[in-house]
Amino acid sequence: MERRTILVGALAVVLVAAGGVFAAELFVPERVTAVDESPVGDDAEALKTGTFVGKAGHDVSGTVTLYRDGDGYFLLFEEYEQTQGPDVFVYLTPSSDPDTGEEVAAGTRVLVDGGADGGESTKVGTFVQRLPDDVDPNEYDGVSIWCDRFGVPFGAAALERA
């Protein structure tokens, strides 16, 4: 099955081809929120870091660093940008280079504060996202940008020791 997203003005058309049958879905890309935050305190310790690469014809760029401070763990996204789409979420994954739904499902969805529709990944720029208290960062080696609606990767960053 092949999927292609085509931007047409303010609309996006997703074409899906499977077995010679084509289907299309129109959607309005989510509103993007540009931010420039630098809330990393002096007590923060960088644990793992990675650089995003786009996947499946989508663009994702920037870096992500996993930090620990007195309040717990958080991800710092720096100069982050991505192709926008419906139901795109951030996942921490055990796989360093997640490409499949199974690899993403083995991870943890990270809802982005201020993201559209209950935590979708619609922020660009530099920002911090706190992780839930029950997340053990030692279990994760990657960050996936994943479209839940179409089950495709937008991008990923392999996390390596900082």
Q: CA neighbours within 13 Å on the CB side: how many for 146?
A: 24
The predicted-structure confidence for 74-132, as pLDDT tens digits, reads as follows: 999 999 999 988 899 999 999 999 999 999 999 999 999 999 888 999 999 999 999 99
Tell me if 127 sits within 8 A of 68, measured CB to CB: no
Q: Please state, for a pLDDT cut of 90, what percent of the chain lies above it.
A: 69
User: If pLDDT is split at 50, 70 and 90, which confidence band does 1 have?
Assistant: very low
Mean pLDDT of the chain: 86
Helices (H) and strands (E) in the chain, counts: 2, 14
Question: What is the structure's pLDDT at 7?
Answer: 44
Q: Where are the domains of the chain?
A: 30-161
Q: Please state, for a pLDDT cut of 70, what percent of the chain lies above it.
A: 81
User: Average pLDDT, stretch 130-150?
Assistant: 95
Give the full edge-to-edge strand order of the sheet including 88-93. 53-54, 152-158, 142-147, 88-93, 108-110
Q: Could you write out the DSSP letters of every residue in 36-92? A: E-----TT-EEEEEEE-EE-TT--EEEEEEEEEETTEEEEEEEEEEE---TTEEEEE
